[in-house]
């Protein structure tokens, strides 16, 4: 039985993140159904005080 690359090799062919409908970033996780950037489909946008790019 093999481990590592052969068993996990199929995961690299698919795109994990797609474009988000709300923020437009390529951060919407297809399997989790949530945007890593803005938090869509949550009602409130994802924001933290330690993020410097947020204005």
The pLDDT of residue 23? 95
What per-residue confidence (pLDDT) applies to 11?
Answer: 74
| pTM of the complete model | 0.73
pLDDT of 31: 94
* The predicted structure's pLDDT at residue 10: 74
Q: Is the peptide bond before 25 cis (omega within 30 degrees of 0)?
A: no
Class of domain 14-48: mainly beta
The per-residue b/e assignment along 10-49, b for 16 or more CB within 10 angstroms, e otherwise, is: eeeeeeeeeebeebeeebbeeeeeebbbbbbeeeeebeee
Write out pLDDT tens, residues 14-55.
889 999 999 999 999 999 999 999 999 999 999 998 887 655
- How many residues can be counted in the chain? 55
Q: Tell me which long-range contacts 42-50 makes (C-beta under 8 A, separation of at least 24).
A: none
């Amino acid at each position: 039985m093999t481990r590592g690359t052969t068993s996990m090799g199929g995961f690299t062919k698919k795109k994990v993140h797609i474009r988000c409908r709300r923020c437009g970033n390529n951060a919407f996780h297809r399997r989790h159904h949530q945007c890593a950037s803005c938090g869509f489909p949550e009602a409130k946008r994802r924001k933290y005080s330690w993020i410097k790019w947020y204005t």
